[in-house]
A and B are shown apart, each in its own frame.
Chain A
Amino acid sequence: MTTPIERVCVIGAGVMGAGIAAQVANAGVPVLLLDIVKDGPDRSAIARGAVAKMQKTEPASFMSADAARLVTVGNLEDDLEQVAGCQWVVEAIIERLDLKQALYAKLDAVCPPGTAISSNTSTIRLASLLDGMGESFRKRFAITHFFNPPRYMRLLELVVGPNTDAALFDGVADFIDRRLGKSVVRTNDTPGFIANRIGTFWLQHGVNTAIAHKLTVAEADAVMGRPLGVPKTGIFGLLDLIGLDLMPHIARSMTESLAADDPFHDTTRELPFLQRMIGEGYTGRKGKGGFYRLNKGASGREKIKESIGLVTGEYAPTQSVRLPDALSRDLGTLLASNDKFGAYAWSVMSDTLSYAARLVPEIADEIVAVDAAMRLGFNWKRGPFELLDAIGPAKVAARLEQEGRKVPALLRAVGEGTFYRIHEGRPEFFGTDGLYHPVPRQDGVLLLDDVKRGAKPLARNGSASLWDIGEGVACLEFHTKMNALDDKIVALLDKSLTIVGERFRALVIANDGSNFSAGANLGTALFAGNIAAWGEIEKTVAEGQRVFKAMKYAPFPVVAAPAGLALGGGCEVLLHADAIVAHAETYAGLVETGVGLVPGWGGNGEMLTRVAAARGMPKGPMPTVAAVFETISQAKVSKSAAEARAMRILRDSDSIVMNRDRLLFDARAKALSLVEGYKAPEKPEFRLSGQGGRAGLGLAVADFAKRGIATPHDVVVADALAELLSGGDFDIVDIVTEDQLLALERRAFMRLIRTGPTLARIEHMLTTGKPLRN
């Protein structure tokens, strides 16, 4: 029986330590962040400075201002005894064995039995850290290896020793999984564990081979980016993100500890130009630039994307590279292709995949861990064994053989089969014992992918599907590009309401995509606008309003489970659900004004209702209308689910889930909890601020325009929004019904989409991805 973790200590306030502390705070858990003493008036200045810096830098480490307040800073001399109040201590200090062990001795003395202690080391093995340490310490110690930045990278590698108290670290693993939202991958105590071992091999090999094959940086990245998807940025783009200086460091630690016959050594080369770049401060995005940089153009205004010549060592404007269509579509075609792209892909990936295959079971017991580590730690779209399956393991083996190269035992063992298969509707993997085993899933993890594998959808069209996810709950999945909402999604939602009403207890709206929904499909809207199909557009708006309201008033609970973007119409889906179960990384907002529109699918009324009901809201219509006007007119997007709550998109009763893999399970549980005695919400009645309110909002906008903050079309859009939110021709004493407000919403939407500047904004957003300030 272990004590639950209610307070955590992180020692070492560097980038990793501070980031880990922030993520603990994001989970709502108090955290003590310690570093060494700094001479001067503030002896805890190092830790304090680290927290202050995190509050300024992007991407943000904290999910909310509240989270930042959960961090207590201190120093290792004055505050060490406070560590005793923590149930888990994470060491993230400099990678020096002597300093780490000296710290461990102090911690072992101050911490009560049952306190877990772990190291975030990436280069020192557990056995070395424990060398000479006492029996009691060995029991409470393990390696918990986070990836940078800890808030956003979902991988955590856990290394436990032979003496480690398994129950203690099961508790820590559970905390990391549920509270910190990381996927815990257990690895063996080998250099670089899984991700860095394979990842560094792959990166170094990728750089060396690009040079040897005379590819440009952009060409190499185009090959790795698509269709390999390892990752979208390609090798050089990823190195810029990681930091060029970090790679030699990690690589050196591995060359020092790996066996002499390990293929890793072949990838380690002296690259003078790389040394020179690091020396001159070109360490990647954190420095002056890396393999890529943005340079000012001749006019000084536009930025030119430049990349370094691997031969010349000079920056030159990046020539965009497009692989021939056939190559970028199909992995097999790419690897088999005789051109420089195919040769590069085969050279790097055949070695990397072979290397991965020969490392199981050395670094991890089974292939599942390796695939997970590469996906979550290096952002590969597919792990090494999943890639091998996509190419065909037998094909790879045959070609290796043909080229006189060694075929790894595991690859030989899988033979004509694949590393993964679906057996009786369940995913199985190929074990080192030569047999297939079920892919393990944690309790409380429900993946739509798994549901879909063995099942037929209850209903489906080109844009969405309805699935039975068990326990009488159905799940509506979007599957368009960026999960943009279109008329087919609306139609399937409509149909789902009937199906669920007849045969299910509740509906969950969720998907496995990286974004819940980026909003309505603007391309369709723009095309319709360009051909003046106003009637069609208004029909689409009205139909969306109707179906969203039908969902709101359906006789069963509806739970929306967003992760990633939930913008515009995607946000309006959330607003009409009975409950929201949001992944912590949810970026939600009504962004319509950015493209010169107002929310058109009932978002305005739902926000008015939410804001009016919020605690501490002053009475009377004006403050509510003004608050909603501010949120919508500025097209605010939350930078986390916590911020979405502050914006009132999430209500107090809505919940936030830290682990993406647990989202669907928790959403289903939430839906089921609402079933008993479920009553659809009452229809709201609005009291709005009337003409006077509209004038007041107009004055504020006019002032922004005068100060040059609002553009001419901002004023037009804001006026349409102000008219709608203040109730159009209704007076402050009138009751406005929901249907009347929806009519106002339609009118404002149609008024705006008919203007040239709005269509220009949409066009600009679609062509450049950026808002047009006209």
Chain B
Amino acid sequence: MQVYEAPLRDMRFVLHELHGLERLQQIEAFAEVNEELVDSVLEEAGRLATEVLLPLNATGDAEGCRLENGVVRTPAGFPEAYKTFREGGWPSLASDPAYGGQGLPECVSKLVEEISCAANLSFSLYPGLTHGAVQALAAHGSTELKDIYLAKMIEGVWTGSMCLTESHCGTDLGMMRTRAVPAEDGTYKITGSKIFISAGEHDLTENIVHLVLAKLPDGPPGVKGISLFLVPKFIPDADGKPGRRNGVMCTGLEHKMGLKASATCQMSFDDATGWLVGAPHKGMAAMFTMMNEERLGVGIQGLGVCSAAYQSATAYAKDRLQGRSLSGAKRPDLAADPIIVHPDVRRTLMTMRANTEGCRAVGIWVAQAVDLSKHAKTEAERQAADDFVALMTPVVKALFTDLGFETASHAIQVYGGHGYIREHGVEQYARDARIAMLYEGTNGIQALDLVGRKMPSNMGRLLRSFFHPVADWIEANRTHAGVGPMVAHLERAFGALQLATGTVGERGLRDPEEAGAAATDYLRLLGLVAQAYMLVRSAAIASDRIEAGDDESGFYQAKLTTAQFFVDRILPQSASLFLTIKSGKASTMAMPEMAF
């Protein structure tokens, strides 16, 4: 059985106690944001998730989407759920108030995204892609385009899509074939085919706004010749209502491993009317605006799956009776003990829990930096926050989605054979979660982005935004009465990360393949230390609260235990990752191609 309830207590802890809203509240745009407001938003989101989205998760998976005469039918209940979602104002939560958004901080919005992804990942993709399209349009679109489209998209009346991939080019967009030809009225005629287009066509909204990458006739070769166009399914009329049907069609649905209720479309553009977004040939820059936003969002998808898989597995482990505890029967009244008594099941559950809480804390750290990068008062503060977001985006994307799949797999393990069959619903998490490691740039690409682009950028300045606060905190808390020993573990792992950073930086400068061979392990190591930092810091707060006699619910003790588990049982991976990184590229690259 899929069970899910939004983990509101932990979310409140992360937002209010670990990161705190104070820095945001000093900013005019967020002056009204307070704990009460945030808590009520999260509570409502939790209710929507459990009551509306979760019940459609398994059914949507079973039913999937259908293409009928060029129209995509989403599974039963989806259109109604989307209507409820839209009418609840959820699409516009963190959007610009100038276009009807509610202007809440990104760090709140990301928690709402976690909740909806946990409850129903397929459903969450429809509004999720609109988010990125809105960002790109807001940053690069003309006033005219923004006036026509932004409010509708923010409100969720229309959704967006991102049309990048073609059958022969995904990661390497320089080989793109879709063409845009200027028309006399200033618009463009777009012709070509795209694949893997999430929410490219569906029956949830009256119109769909595609952002399409295409080449202009005079464009230079490669990625420098790509421009971004807005192509609506229906061209808005003078009143802004969907008018003439544009030359864009869904020609097929991809048959996928999972995420079945999300329509992944093959799209055909046949002389479709489009409008240029941003400058000619600068489409990649515009595309990266939405891509960066989306990459954080995809990381949150991984987190959502972690959370859902953990809850389902926990419920099952408490319920399922098999064997007796190694230290003697715990429930002699029953035929067997619940499997949660077994150390290996415990190990699995604790791993799932610690990773989930670690990711949540890291994710909100980064999301808050997104808010600061846009709204902080001084340029220096905005720059520092932006550095941090740039550095951590690939980490959030790759680490969270790796862990999403791993955690889903752990959940199946807890279920035993029952995890492998459909009716319990946990195998769906694994199938759904797998895509997040691939789209918006595979996790290998994320790792390359981290070591190849982010690490050397500005002589390593981006690194400062992570390493300095961690080093300062460690230094200030070495002798912390409650968590001093945990801090020592953190410091050792941090030292390994520093050494690894030096090694990768130095070798990478001489030989880019060295950096490439170390990239994935390095990203994981950085992510591991980031999680540990968040969890040990959380533990320090929890320890202080317990010391102050404030732990009626046992929440803080649980925080402490979770952190201790992470430090004891997961953080030591830092040593192995360090050795792996240090070994260099030699054995990875030695095998001649012929020998494969």
- A contacts, CB < 8 Å to B: 523, 526-534, 536, 756, 759, 762-763, 766-767
Could you tell me the distance between the alpha carbons of A766 and B502 in the complex, rounded to whole angstroms? Answer: 18
Is B553 at the interface (CB under 8 A from chain A)?
no
Which partner residue on chain B sits nearest A529 by CB separation?
B464
Return the CB mask of B458-473 against A: 1 if under 8 Å, else 0.
1111011001101110
Residue from B460, B468, B470, B502 within 8 A of A526 (CB atoms): B460
User: B463 contacts which of A530, A534, A756, A766 (Cβ < 8 Å)?
Assistant: A530
Q: How far is the CA of A532 from the CA of B470 in the complex (A)?
A: 9
**Closest residue of A by beta carbon distance from B471:** A532
User: B459, A766: Cβ atoms under 8 Å?
Assistant: yes
On whether the beta carbons of A530 and B467 are closer than 8 Å, the reply is yes
Q: In the bound complex, do residue A531 and residue B459 qualify as a contact, i.e. CB atoms below 8 Å apart?
A: no
- Is the beta-carbon distance between A530 and B498 smaller than 8 angstroms? no
B355 at the interface (CB under 8 A from A): no
> Are B502 and A527 in touch, CB under 8 angstroms?
yes
> Contact check: which of A526, A532, A534, A756 meets B459 at CB < 8 Å?
A526
Q: B178 near A: Cβ within 8 Å? A: no
Residues in B whose Cβ lies below 8 Å from that of A530 = 459-461, 463-464, 467
* Cβ contacts under 8 Å, A762 to chain B: 459
Q: Which of B459, B468, B470 has the most CB of A within 10 A?
A: B459
* Residues of chain A contacted by B472 (CB below 8 angstroms): 532
CB proximity of A762 to chain B, nearest CB, Å: 8
* B461 and A534 contacting across the interface, CB-CB below 8 Å: no
CB pair B460–A527 under 8 Å, yes or no, is yes
B311 at the binding interface (Cβ < 8 Å) = no
Minimal beta-carbon separation of B86 from chain A (angstroms): 45
Contact yes or no, B461 A532, CB < 8 A? no
Residue B91 CB within 8 A of the other chain: no
Q: Is B505 an interface residue (CB 8 A)?
A: yes
Per-residue contact bits, chain B 117-130, to A (CB 8 Å; 1 contact, 0 not): 00000000000000
Which chain B residue lies CB-closest to A532? B471
Q: Is the CB of B460 within 8 A of A532?
A: no
B458 partner, pick from A536, A756, A767, beta carbons under 8 A: A767
Judged by DSSP, the binding face of A is: helix
Query: Which residue of A is nearest B497, CB measured?
Result: A531
Chain B interface, DSSP helix/strand/loop, else mixed:
helix
Do residues B502 and A532 form an inter-chain contact, with CB atoms below 8 A?
no
Of listed B463, B464, B470, B505, residue having the most chain A CB within 10 A: B464
**In this assembly, does B501 line the interface, its C-beta being within 8 Å of a C-beta of chain A?**
yes
Q: When the two chains form their complex, are residues B461 and A531 in contact, meaning their CB atoms are under 8 A apart?
A: no
Q: How many A-B residue pairs have CB under 8 A?
A: 44
Q: Which residues of A contact B461 (CB under 8 A)?
A: 530, 759, 763
CB-CB under 8 A from B498, the residues of chain A are: 531-533, 536
| Nearest Cβ on chain B to A509's Cβ, whole angstroms | 26
CA distance A756 to B463 in the complex (A): 13
**Among candidates A531, A536, A756, residue contacting B460 with C-beta atoms closer than 8 Å:** A531
Chain B residues whose C-beta falls within 8 Å of the C-beta of A766 in the assembled complex: 459
Asked whether, in the complex, the Cβ of A533 is within 8 Å of the Cβ of B502, the reply is: yes
Q: Please, how many angstroms separate the alpha-carbon atoms of A534 and B471 in the complex? A: 9
Q: Contact at B502–A523, with CB atoms within 8 Å?
A: no
Are the CB atoms of A759 and B464 closer together than 8 Å?
yes
Residues 494-511 of B contacting A (Cβ, < 8 Å):
498, 501-502, 505
Check B505–A527 contact: CB distance below 8 A: yes
CB distance from A250 to the nearest CB of B (A): 44
Q: Which residues of B contact A528 (CB under 8 A)?
A: 502
Residues from chain B with Cβ under 8 Å of A536 in the complex = 498, 502
CB interface residues, B 506-559, toward A, < 8 Å: none
In the bound complex, CA of A533 to CA of B461 (Å): 14
Please indicate which of the listed interface residues A523, A527, A533, A759 has the most CB atoms of chain B within 10 Å of its own CB.
A527
Q: Which residues of B contact A527 (CB under 8 A)?
A: 459-460, 502, 505
11 examples of A-B residue contacts, CB within 8 angstroms? A526-B459, A526-B460, A527-B505, A530-B461, A531-B460, A531-B463, A532-B498, A534-B471, A536-B502, A756-B464, A763-B458
Assembled-state Cα–Cα distance A763/B464 (Å): 12
Inter-chain contacts of B460 with A (CB < 8 A) = 526-527, 530-531
Least CB distance, A282 to chain B, in whole angstroms: 34
Residues 439-469 of B at the A interface (beta carbon under 8 Å): 458-461, 463-464, 467-468
With CB as the reference atom, state the residue of chain A lying closest to B460.
Answer: A530
Q: Using an 8 Å CB-CB cutoff, how does the interface string of B469-481 with A read, 1 for contact, 0 for none? A: 0111000000000
Chain B residues contacting A767 (CB-CB under 8 Å) are: 458-459
- In the complex, what residues of A have CB within 8 A of residue B459's CB? 523, 526-527, 530, 762-763, 766-767
Query: Are A532 and B505 touching (Cβ within 8 A)?
Result: no
* Pairs A-B, 6 closest by C-beta atoms: A532-B471, A530-B460, A532-B467, A531-B467, A530-B463, A530-B464
Contact with A along B66-98 (1 / 0, CB 8 A): 000000000000000000000000000000000
B458 and A532 form a contact (CB under 8 A): no
Q: List the A residue with the shortest CB-CB distance to B474.
A: A532
Chain A residues in 8 Å Cβ range of B467: 530-532
In whole angstroms, how far apart are the Cα atoms of A223 and B470 in the complex? 48
CB distance from A558 to the nearest CB of B (A): 31
Residues of A within 8 A of B470 (CB): 532
Chain A neighbourhood of B463, CB < 8 A: 530-531
Closest residue of chain A to B462, judged by CB? A530
In whole angstroms, how far apart are the Cα atoms of A528 and B505 in the complex?
A: 10
Chain B residues whose C-beta falls within 8 Å of the C-beta of A534 in the assembled complex? 471
